Structure 1
């Protein structure tokens, strides 16, 4: 399975690399305290219960966002590996071209629209 040659990979690779840098900065900066880089802010006993609940909800949201960014980073790394291997743009299911428009919308896509639709239907049945 080799990458389709009907489009230029360079601009998509550049977008992937730029997004990768953004995600790494966010994961090491904004979310760095989730990994223990910064100690969590401690609320005193005089803290209002609403403040404590709000802070906990905020922490849950930040953890979910960090997980989402980490997942996206893994998808980008996999796409960059497919570029290096000459397999970028080929559907992992059927081997057909994923399509330039789809790759512009989601540069780390691994399936063509037909195979992605079938994949989602199978996943929803479980």
Structure 2
């Protein structure tokens, strides 16, 4: 069971990370969502330049997707805090260790349930 002060620290950490992710998604990756016009390469562009640009865009898209996924996990964790269910595994209801929550404050599952979840997901691919 986590204490009230530990919960406050974890909530603060979640809110700070959320703010950082929103800034990155709106700033660094804003053009991926149409907030900024993308850099246009003209027809005279070298094929290597075009391929390099495509690889860079794919990497930025993957990074933005990762950040967005983390943002969703943070929002779910904040909702669990508001509902009084934070710190309990969403699968089995057992407490999630404070050290695990410090390492990843948006963690929703205990180690056992997370392992089973990942194994199940891996077999579906």
TM-score (norm 1): 0.92
Q: Hey, what does 2:101 align to over in structure 1? A: 103
Which blocks of at least 5 consecutive residues in structure 1 are unaligned? none
The match for 1:18 is 16
Pairing of 1:25-44 with structure 2 (within 5 A): 25-44=23-42
Q: How far does the alpha carbon of each residue in 1:87-125 deviate from its partner, in whole angstroms, 9 at most, with x for none?
A: 000001111101101101111111111111122222222
Q: Which residue of 2 aligns with 1:88?
A: 86
Higher relative contact order (CA 8 A, sep 6+): 1
Paired with 2:59 and 2:2, the residues of 1 have a C-alpha distance of: 41
Cα pair 2:77 2:86 within 8 Å, conserved? yes
Q: Give me the whole-angstrom Cα distance separating, in 2, the residues matched to 1:39 and 1:92.
A: 41
- CA RMSD, aligned part only? 1.2
Of 41, 56, 59, 1:58 maps to 56
**1: CA distance between counterparts of 2:52 and 2:29?**
18
- SS of the residue 1:9 aligns to: helix
Structure with bigger helix share is 2
**What number of residue pairs does the alignment pair up?**
123
TM-score under structure 2 length normalisation: 0.92
